[in-house]
Structure 1
């Protein structure tokens, strides 16, 4: 058992969900790698950052899944509707306008089970901001792992604290990731009254690199990418341990 889909989202503000999702997909350690799907109903950033054409991308993927295409390597899944970023990461960018992106995300949510296959790359979903009972919430609920990204500031942590009970009830496998700040995960956990699974460091150079504004000689040595790789390995290890416990119980 391995995670086939990993969803990242926020509740408010701009804690860097797209940057975190891109970094995680770029350093995914398995041989099959990962494909990034920008499923943000409010509109995407990647095409603007990287000056990518509108197609192929999220709209094409949503239409293909609607007609029954699978998530493997047959050209119907995310890889078949992706563009390659410099370095090779396949990405399905979302339309920049909310009206077009929202419709595509709704279609995607109706076919959430077809977003990935056992023999394909992991699908990393950038869901942007999550609202209750929305299409993005449906996608998060169907992901094998859901990562809530929150910035280490009072307003976002308060929103996280107020929403914790509902989130953990609807997303049993939810993991909380704090972005930026200098407090330890234990301190943040005490402040919000819920476990904090990981932290993404503030790394302006890596952020500029991911937005296409800066070149880096060895990006994998940067703090953001090193941390993202560590989180990916933990997700894979946790999935393996879950499988072992399930097999032992049978």
Structure 2
């Protein structure tokens, strides 16, 4: 079955979608038998990827959600689109109402079956949850690992502390990704927020422009000219793979914490 990693934030727009695309770009395919990962837009607002790259959102998230209750709902890959940056993705439309219902359906047993696939389905799925809400609790809680993305300023980290410090109970399954400049060392952030794993993601203007659809082309994953963002994210991918990201008890803890915190 596929590995599933969720990405989200607790406030603002710190770059969750860009981080998800970077992770998919840098992910070592040999880990999944050569199968490329898939980014699934699974936040309640949707529409980011279609707008970034000027693509239609269908087939996409709504098509997947529409068939999850059927005895044989088909493959997630039937709704995948190829993005200009070389990433496979399932796109969502703009609008809270349709996306919220789709996210709810994906969080049910049928939706999990489609996202995870069957026993012989390989690859990794990265759930772009955007800002974490009560509607995304089930998806975040069912993931093998969670990347919480935040800017490095004191105000942004204060939001993390206020709303999600209890996520540290998930142990090594939760990683805080601090984007851009930060006046604190990762060890200081880890100690202050009670989060064991903290990773600094560099502010990479060129890389962000390519992944944001503002600049044409694809980023180099290896070699001398590797994007600083991809170089760091590739190291992060190695840590996630090495950690195994698969203890269901941690997923249950995460769901409980989100419910108790009532993140909205």
TM-score by length of 1: 0.84
The match for 1:248 is: none
Whether 2:43 is the aligned partner of 1:45: answer no
Aligned pairs for 1:14-163 within 5 A: 14-30=13-29, 31-69=34-72, 76-110=74-108, 111-114=110-113, 115-117=115-117, 118=119, 119-131=121-133, 134-163=134-163
In structure 1, the residue matched to 2:164 is: 164
Tell me the SS of whatever aligns to 1:33.
Answer: coil
The answer (yes or no) to whether the contact 2:44–2:100 under 8 Å persists in 1 is yes
Matched, 1:239 2:244: yes
Runs of 5+ consecutive residues of structure 2 not aligned to the other structure: 248-264
| Counterpart contact for 1:178–1:196, Cα < 8 Å | no
Structure 2 Cα separation of the partners of residues 188 and 113 of structure 1: 33
* Distance across 2 between alignment mates of 1:61 and 1:95: 13
Do residues 227 (structure 1) and 228 (structure 2) align?
Answer: no
2:240 aligned counterpart, secondary structure:
helix
Query: Is the CA contact (8 Å cut-off) linking 1:7 and 1:126 kept in structure 2?
Result: yes
State the superposition RMSD in angstroms: 2.4
Deviates more, 1:38-47 or 1:81-90: 81-90
TM-score for the superposition, normalised by structure 2: 0.80
Q: Provide the residue aligned with 2:180 in structure 1.
A: 180
Match for residue 11 of structure 2? Answer: 12
Partner of residue 253, structure 2: none
Q: Aligned to 2:59, what secondary structure does the other structure show? A: coil
In the alignment, structure 1 segments of 5+ residues that lack a partner are 71-75, 243-250
Q: Deviations over 1:135-174 (max 9, x none)?
A: 3111010001111111111222112112334334478722
Distance 1:217 1:56, change over 3 A: closer
Match for residue 246 of structure 1? none
Over 3 Å counting, the alpha-carbon distance change for 1:180 and 1:209 in structure 2 is same
Q: Deviations over 1:97-145 (max 9, x none)?
A: 12221111111111342212352210110000112xx231110100011
| CA distances 1:83-105 after superposition (whole Å, capped 9, x unpaired) | 11125421101111122211111
Aligned length: 234
The reply to whether residue 200 of structure 1 matches residue 201 of structure 2 is yes
